[in-house]
Structure 1
Amino acid sequence: MKKNNLAKKIYLLVPKQLWLQMKITTLLILLTTFCLQANDSYSQNVKVSLDIQNATITEIFREIENRTDYRFFYNKTLLNTEKRVSVNSNEKEVSAILDQLLAGENVSYTMVNNYIVITPKENEETNSPGVTQDNRKTVIGIVTDEQGEPIIGANIIEKGTTNGTVTDIDGKFNITVSTDSSVLLFSYIGYKSVEIPVGEQTTINVQLQEDTETLEEVVVVGYGTQKKVNLTGAVSSIESKSLTVAPVANTTNALAGRLPGLTVIQNSGQPGADRASLNIRGFDSPLVIVDGIEAEFHTIDPNMIESISVLKDGAAAIYGSRAGNGVILVTTKRGVQQKPSITFNSNLTLQGVTSMPKPTNAGQYAELEREKWIQSGRPIEQAPFTEEQIRKYYDGSDPQYPNTNWYNELIRDWAPQQQYNLSVRGGNEAVKYYGFVGYLNQQSMWKQNGGNYNRYNLQSNIDASVTKNLTFQLDLAAIIEDKIFPSRPQSAGGDNVWQDFWNTLPIYPATLPDPTKISYADGGGTGGAHVTSNHELMGYNKGDNQNFKGTGTLNYTFPGITGLSAKVLVNAIVNYNKSSTFSKPVQYYRYDIASDTYTLAGALGNKAQLSINQSRNSSITTQASLNYDRIFSDIHHLTILALFEGIDYKGDWISASRDNFLSPAVEQLYAGDNSTAKNNGSASEMGRMSYVGRLNYSYKGKYLLEATLRADASAKFSPTKRWGYFPSISAGWRISEENFMQNADNLDNLKLRVSYGQSGNDNVVNFQYLSGYTLQGFAGYLIGDNPLKAIAPSVIPNPNLSWEEIRIMGAGIDFSFFQRKIYGEADVFYRERTGIPGTRQSTLPSTFGASLPQENINSLDNRGFEFMLGTYFNINDFEFDISGNVAYSRDKWIHYEEPEYTDPDEIRLRKVSGNWTDRLFGYKSDKLFGSQAEIDALTFMQDNNNNTSLRPGDVRYINTNGDDRLDWRDQIELGARFPHWTMGLNINARYKNFDLTTLFQGAFAYYTDVWLLRSIRVYSEEVYNLRWTEEKNNTDALVPRMGGSSLNGEASDYRYKEAGYLRLKSASLGYNIPKELLNQISIEQARIYLAGTNLLTFDRLKKYNIDPEAPFGNAGYYYPQQRTISFGINVSF
């Protein structure tokens, strides 16, 4: 932290008590900043006329400030603030007035530019080191920073006492200590504290090292910023360096485990579609605000981001109707006053599968097919494969019996990813700028023409001072994406390329001698995944997305009213999207080795077809606000915000398609058959208008209050229900600032927080208060020879449909001890949602022609807690910062519109009201049947067919109610579908030029579906290894008998397994090249690093080879999560 030489002219003294350190340091920063900006020294001969009778010294100081540009800095304990004096001067110099005013006081003053610093007079008798007459010792010295610059106002305390002093403008100090055994504690905000025993020393020179972690932190909140120590709501934040520990393609995946209460689940690893789902405290998707504007942030390059804040309770209520699920605030980097700094970052990443079941080889496949046939009770002589054929498939030496490993043939071990970005940052007093250009390329895990995703990020943020009181900001951004993948879907679900993969048989060859012909491998009618995963063969899905954003902001500070400013912001966002799906016919063949002949086995499609979808969506946001920020009498800090916001949304969509192309070589619509032409389209408009008010009050920096009120209007509702009003209030008490805590030397900060807030939700179909009709998409009537489409009423209008209301209450505590060597926070919360739209259970006659409307009838609540604890310490050249967080939350329905249940089992299993929202039901199992005798001994009917379908190796279910049959009444609550416990453990370590950062992330107490016996042609190796066999009769097997009863796949604890996990989410090892080497080649900083994500996972699903974040019920049927290893370099010039 460098000091400017001008600062040496300032003699700034703070009191001995530690509790004033932060206040004085803030004043020093402001003072130094203004000194840097001064072009000409403020005249010390300024004259002023005063006529003040019977006033205190502080009142006279304030009057001088009002009439001149002077600002006073002083400690009130130095002055007799009760003494009253009179001043009568006519055009008298301020210095002369001060000489008169301070006569008789044991203080002096220094005038530097327009600052007047009041300090105590020096005692000449204490300037020489040595032993005093009462055997106490005087110690002198200098305190400097790492560059050797003196630190002004550093604190020196005799440990265990209240005896202390501070350094002067030259960093010098002198202090008298009681004994030689005394220990001096040297501290300064922003630097690491140092303890030095006095011993026989009379001169002690100390060099303090900067500690950026303890600098006073400013957090982005709704429509502004606040000091973290003054927050009264539950707000968590992280900075850029935490987001860029390990390269990620999607910013959402960098947040996992880093913020308490934020749950991050990544369900896919597909390039361009690997966005994680986010929820705050178990709520639904939160509102995302980027640089003050509602926007998505998953496609923003993490290197562009300055900070991310998460508003979790009443702090989010300022965003009203859109904030019911919490708010994520993203702030991009801006220019700073410095010489231009150019930063280049480059990394090469390898992506590999975390966990994924692998298909069986040809021998295993044939063995399982035969086993399934026989164990299902069918004739053994008709089994699909003989023992000899199975042996040949295992052997693989006979070309007539190929053994194809389709996983190795189709899927890469590691797919490449490249990321490059270049930024420039700098500015002066007039203009500050930040520019960014980034490029990302991700390749698919499919080997042959599996596709790729490209993203380009461009950002320009400019801050300009137009006049002394007027500033202008211009932010321009563009995100351009393009991708190409096979036309077959890859997302989780049934009919996709992953289904083709599990239907591709290993008993067929991957290639044929004639490279122009495609091998037939079944694939469930598609020929095989080697066809459908190759966009050059079967066709493609191309996507082009262009997002443009521009924001202009004017800030005006009123010169006549201290603390009053105005702001006007206008933002426009336009998004263009185009998606093209082109399908080509593919023929595949069988090959007979003996005759060297090819036989056409089938085809995927007959002729090419093309469909195109284009959409354009735009929004215009306007904000106008007044802000008043002022401190009265040094103890009352008042901030008031009044804001108007209006948002207009527009969108349109159009599609066109044609089939039966004459040739797949021409990929344009005109090449298709005119008679197959189809087109469609739609357009939409929506708007919101809001008024916002916020008041922040702080008394002596220890009693904190915040109140907000937001009025939102949504065009979705009728004029009488359009407006919603959402208040919030929160308070904080900084106990550590109380006088009775001043002797708690090891306490840095202790703050209690409470909050209450209301917000809303207008997430309903637009304009349900209006009558409307729906145009049927089919010809419903025939008049003559002409088929005619019909229109039908949509729903009965409901003019009373209105806002869903959300109330949230919370309480929390923030603490830190021992110069932040221990720090943490804890929160508890309760949230209630009422007026959730739902449809009543009443029914209408089918002849009515319309359905019942939605009404505000459902409600649920949510409760939970969060806890974070961290420690920071350093040992010689080692530095460690370790923090962990844990959170719990869960939803429960208060009322859900449903039938009136009277049956006890229906109430237990089907009733929603009064129960958790994500209960998972199923049967309780007791291993597998080991013999027919066990089946015969059953006292109830398990298969609803007198147990005649049961065989050894089938799942044994427990008849929980003890009646004569197994049915839905025997099901029990097994657990939850979604994780309600989450945790994160962050470890940051540094040794000299090396740095190591690791993040462990976990989620617990939820279940997933591990059923592996799906309706597919090829089972996995896990099925083969974990199955029950007659030879082993392993009744504890994880997979029941092949060809077993259909009841084996029923919902049960045999199928649903605990999926909790702990994952090494990210790790990075870096080395900063010594500056002595870099200075020779004009490089400011250079760091090389090795990093990775999803490196290790500890869970109970290893035996199934299923990733714990796999979509429920889709294990193996989706693009799996990726483990990444990256090598990169970061250079600044």
Structure 2
Amino acid sequence: MPYNDLNLWHPYSLTRYIDKQNKSFNTLGTAFGEYYITDDLKFRSSISGNLSNTRYNSYRFKNQGYGYSSLLAAEGNSQTSYSLNWLSENTLTYDKRFNDHSLNVLAGYSVQKQRDEFASVTSGSFPNDLVETLNAGVVTSGSTFATEWSIISYLARAQYNFQNKYFFTAAIRRDGSSRFGTATRWGYFPSVSAGWLISDEKFMQNLKAVNLLKLRVSYGVAGNNQIPNYGSISLLGTSNYASGSSLASGLAIGNIANTNLKWERTNQLNIGLDLRMLNDRIGVSAEFYNSITKDMLLNVPIPDISGFSNQLTNIGQMQNRGVELNLNTKNIVGKFTWSTDFNISANRNKVLQLGNSNAPIIYTDFLVAVKTEVGQPISNFYGYQVDGIFKNQAAVDAAPHYSTTKPGDPIIRDVNGDGKITADDRTTLGNYQPKFTAGLTNNFSFKGFDVSFMFQGSFGGKIVNQMYRYSGFWNNGRNMFAGVDNRWRSEADPGDGIHPRATLNLTGLQDQFTSLWVEDASFVRLKNIRISYTIPSSLLARTPLRNTRVYANADNVYLWSKYIGYDPENTTYNATNYSGNSNGLNASGNAPNGAFIGVDYGSYPIPRVITIGLKTDF
């Protein structure tokens, strides 16, 4: 069997023969001042900054295989990054209370700016491994870049309540972002909300069991500017061109400008109800929301005749509708106490519009494809459905298949029923979005001892295990998933009907995105256990210690999941990665740099962390 040297780094080599060092230095500062112009009118000004410097050095020892089929030369790399973010806020607040009325009015102005700089240098041809600094070798490459963004905001808000029973709030923001064109950089975002404390009404006074009942309603508009810096203009990049018989360095446009690019806007309605009863022994909070996102910031395919494959534009509408429920109970009250917090939430996402033609958007990265189309959740996984394994030649002959298909190969579903297996047979394979998420926390207390444990869970979502294309088929020199041992071997030994036969090369659609890569991402995690003991003050009377508590805390204690990868929650690409993306869709549902939410490429699992500590006052 031939040896495949792709992505086979040996763990021992990585830890013994590669030196890596990452140093970060962060400086944060905040200063503010307040001045009361009158007893009811206050001016506040603040400024804050965050300065970050990072240096990363790596050195790869020479003549090491690292799992490759040939030895590698030594290589050193040094990277430095610099980031400065500062924010200035200035507000004027009028706060007045008279009789049954209370009024608070705020007007403000803020400005924020960030500059990032990055430099990288790589050296090779090191004579030995004694000196790892780059000057010991020959510089082979280097690059630098700098980027900036800024935002200016004007805001106003008025809050009013009457008899502490009726509450009204109105606000508006005017935000300007440097990421949009000069004619479209400003966005207006108003909001209104109202609350009614029903339990304080006279008609509720006879309901002694109800301690609080409050109705909340709000409607507002929020903006999103999470696109690359300079995303609305064309950028130049280096490009070689022919000059006689040689190549010369030049510049070329890397993307199409869109000077009409503007803020993405989300209009959202919230209706909530808060209830506390039985002397606050039971508390319930429920909220329903419905949001419509318009002018979504998406990278959409464009005709190749333009010289480019996609363009960042405002297109389409999307709906998110959901409910959140929280339940708090005091189960036992006294010397021994027990309380429970439970929450559950569900969200349903649907694309309402994708431009004038409503043409679906299909985006592919590392063979994984997602499809966004009207009437469906955003970014459905899109590939071939596998319906088992061909057990014998008769089964192959009776079904649509490729000419190279043999017994033991996957059965690909003929979705369109044309008797052939083509790209038109790709179908929806699921979505990363869970049907619902939930959490449960219990707290116990007795004579200074406190114990709590928290569970969290996600149910109904899917995850793409991108390692399956390497470890799910026996066709090279890698270790395989354990399930491959149950592969098809012969008609008499068909295996589990899931894992195909061993081959020298991937056959049929084994190297294409199929349902074999898609797994259930549902999980339950024992997220936290905390045990603490408060030392009685009588034992500390002769010491300077006060309010002393010792504790032990464990995070990410245990995971229950059917996912064969490390962790279905800590995927390679997730929502935290999406600010400032350049190639993927926005944070509303797609990922940056061609990656996707819910795709795992062997990411490191969330670590278990155990902390033991003591907290005291002097």
State the TM-score, normalized to the length of structure 2: 0.83
* Other structure's SS at 2:603 match: coil
Q: How does 1:594-673 map to 2 (within 5 A)?
A: 604-606=71-73, 608-633=74-99, 635-673=100-138
Match of 2:24 among 545, 556, 569: 545
Larger CA deviation: 993-1002 vs 890-899: 890-899
Alpha-carbon offset, residue 767 of structure 1: 4.2
Equivalent residue, structure 2, for 1:833: 293
From the superposition, tell whether residues 609 and 958 of structure 1 become closer, same or farther in structure 2 (CA, over 3 Å). closer
* Other structure's SS at 1:667 match: coil
Equivalent residue, structure 1, for 2:8: 500
RMSD (CA atoms): 3.4
Query: 2:107·2:155 contact (CA, 8 Å) conserved in 1?
Result: yes
Alpha-carbon offset, residue 1086 of structure 1: 3.2
Q: Does 1:941 align with 2:449?
A: no
Counterpart-to-counterpart distance in 2, 1:700 and 1:610: 70
Q: Deviations over 1:155-192 (max 9, x none)?
A: xxxxxxxxxxxxxxxxxxxxxxxxxxxxxxxxxxxxxx
One-letter amino acid matched to 2:406: L
Instruction: Extract unaligned runs of 5+ from structure 2.
Output: 361-369, 573-597
Equivalent residue, structure 1, for 2:187: 724
Q: How does 1:336-351 map to 2 (within 5 A)?
A: none
From the superposition, tell whether residues 773 and 1002 of structure 1 become closer, same or farther in structure 2 (CA, over 3 Å). closer
From the superposition, tell whether residues 1020 and 1069 of structure 1 become closer, same or farther in structure 2 (CA, over 3 Å). farther
Equivalent residue, structure 1, for 2:373: 912
Query: Higher helix fraction: Structure 1 or Structure 2?
Result: 1
Q: Does 1:738 align with 2:208?
A: no
* Other structure's SS at 1:585 match: coil
One-letter amino acid matched to 1:860: M
Q: How does 1:759-798 map to 2 (within 5 A)?
A: 759-767=222-230, 774-776=236-238, 778-782=239-243, 787-798=247-258
* Other structure's SS at 2:615 match: strand
Equivalent residue, structure 2, for 1:1006: 461
Q: Deviations over 1:569-588 (max 9, x none)?
A: 11222111222222220347
* Other structure's SS at 2:199 match: helix
Q: How does 1:225-304 map to 2 (within 5 A)?
A: none
One-letter amino acid matched to 1:744: L
Counterpart-to-counterpart distance in 2, 1:1048 and 1:716: 42
Equivalent residue, structure 1, for 2:585: none
Match of 1:1071 among 533, 540, 545: 533
Equivalent residue, structure 2, for 1:984: 439
From the superposition, tell whether residues 898 and 1030 of structure 1 become closer, same or farther in structure 2 (CA, over 3 Å). farther
Equivalent residue, structure 2, for 1:562: 39
Q: Deviations over 1:644-688 (max 9, x none)?
A: 111232233333333222333223333222xx4543323333322
Equivalent residue, structure 2, for 1:950: 406
One-letter amino acid matched to 2:342: G
Counterpart-to-counterpart distance in 2, 1:804 and 1:1116: 30
Alpha-carbon offset, residue 910 of structure 1: 5.8
Equivalent residue, structure 2, for 1:576: 53
Query: 1:891·1:916 contact (CA, 8 Å) conserved in 2?
Result: yes
One-letter amino acid matched to 1:617: S
Alpha-carbon offset, residue 962 of structure 1: 4.3
One-letter amino acid matched to 1:1083: L
Larger CA deviation: 660-669 vs 884-893: 660-669
Counterpart-to-counterpart distance in 1, 2:523 and 2:187: 42
* Other structure's SS at 1:719 match: coil
Query: 1:794·1:851 contact (CA, 8 Å) conserved in 2?
Result: no
Query: 1:571·1:622 contact (CA, 8 Å) conserved in 2?
Result: yes
Q: How does 1:185-204 map to 2 (within 5 A)?
A: none
From the superposition, tell whether residues 798 and 972 of structure 1 become closer, same or farther in structure 2 (CA, over 3 Å). closer
One-letter amino acid matched to 2:296: I
Counterpart-to-counterpart distance in 1, 2:255 and 2:507: 45
Q: Deviations over 1:1026-1045 (max 9, x none)?
A: 44455973654543333385
Larger CA deviation: 1056-1065 vs 893-902: 893-902
* Other structure's SS at 2:527 match: strand
Match of 2:448 among 989, 993, 996: 993
Query: 1:841·1:899 contact (CA, 8 Å) conserved in 2?
Result: no
Equivalent residue, structure 1, for 2:547: 1085
Q: How does 1:849-868 map to 2 (within 5 A)?
A: 854-868=312-326
Instruction: Extract unaligned runs of 5+ from structure 1.
Output: 1-368, 374-383, 385-493, 502-527, 591-600, 903-908
One-letter amino acid matched to 1:793: I
Counterpart-to-counterpart distance in 2, 1:659 and 1:960: 52
Counterpart-to-counterpart distance in 2, 1:784 and 1:1030: 59
From the superposition, tell whether residues 653 and 949 of structure 1 become closer, same or farther in structure 2 (CA, over 3 Å). closer
One-letter amino acid matched to 1:950: K
Q: Deviations over 1:979-1019 (max 9, x none)?
A: 24111001111122221111100001112245342565233
Alpha-carbon offset, residue 1090 of structure 1: 3.5
Q: How does 1:264-663 map to 2 (within 5 A)?
A: 499-500=7-8, 528-534=10-16, 537=17, 539-558=18-37, 561-587=38-64, 604-606=71-73, 608-633=74-99, 635-663=100-128
Match of 1:818 among 259, 278, 283: 278
From the superposition, tell whether residues 935 and 854 of structure 1 become closer, same or farther in structure 2 (CA, over 3 Å). closer
Query: 1:841·1:898 contact (CA, 8 Å) conserved in 2?
Result: no
Query: 1:1040·1:1048 contact (CA, 8 Å) conserved in 2?
Result: no
* Other structure's SS at 2:433 match: coil
Counterpart-to-counterpart distance in 2, 1:1079 and 1:1034: 75
Alpha-carbon offset, residue 627 of structure 1: 1.0
Counterpart-to-counterpart distance in 2, 1:1131 and 1:715: 48
One-letter amino acid matched to 2:225: D
Q: Deviations over 1:352-386 (max 9, x none)?
A: xxxxxxxxxxxxxxxxx7xxx9xxxxxxxxxx9xx
Query: 1:796·1:851 contact (CA, 8 Å) conserved in 2?
Result: no
Alpha-carbon offset, residue 1085 of structure 1: 3.1
State the TM-score, normalized to the length of structure 1: 0.47
* Other structure's SS at 1:542 match: strand
Equivalent residue, structure 1, for 2:556: 1094
* Other structure's SS at 1:500 match: coil
* Other structure's SS at 1:721 match: coil
From the superposition, tell whether residues 773 and 862 of structure 1 become closer, same or farther in structure 2 (CA, over 3 Å). closer
Alpha-carbon offset, residue 806 of structure 1: 1.8
Equivalent residue, structure 2, for 1:327: none
Query: 1:544·1:578 contact (CA, 8 Å) conserved in 2?
Result: yes
Counterpart-to-counterpart distance in 2, 1:678 and 1:650: 24
Alpha-carbon offset, residue 564 of structure 1: 1.8
From the superposition, tell whether residues 767 and 1013 of structure 1 become closer, same or farther in structure 2 (CA, over 3 Å). closer
Alpha-carbon offset, residue 821 of structure 1: 0.5
Query: 1:1106·1:1115 contact (CA, 8 Å) conserved in 2?
Result: no
Counterpart-to-counterpart distance in 1, 2:305 and 2:389: 49
One-letter amino acid matched to 1:941: P
Query: 2:105·2:159 contact (CA, 8 Å) conserved in 1?
Result: yes
Q: How does 1:72-221 map to 2 (within 5 A)?
A: none
Query: 1:1028·1:1039 contact (CA, 8 Å) conserved in 2?
Result: yes
Q: Does 1:700 align with 2:156?
A: no
Query: 1:838·1:897 contact (CA, 8 Å) conserved in 2?
Result: no
Query: 1:555·1:565 contact (CA, 8 Å) conserved in 2?
Result: yes
* Greater relative contact order (CA < 8 Å, ≥ 6 in sequence): 1
Counterpart-to-counterpart distance in 2, 1:930 and 1:842: 44
Counterpart-to-counterpart distance in 2, 1:755 and 1:986: 29
Counterpart-to-counterpart distance in 1, 2:121 and 2:390: 57
Alpha-carbon offset, residue 732 of structure 1: 0.7
One-letter amino acid matched to 2:170: A
Match of 1:1108 among 560, 568, 581: 568
Counterpart-to-counterpart distance in 1, 2:66 and 2:286: 65
Counterpart-to-counterpart distance in 2, 1:773 and 1:925: 43
Query: Higher strand fraction: Structure 1 or Structure 2?
Result: 2
Alpha-carbon offset, residue 844 of structure 1: 6.6
From the superposition, tell whether residues 1026 and 1001 of structure 1 become closer, same or farther in structure 2 (CA, over 3 Å). farther
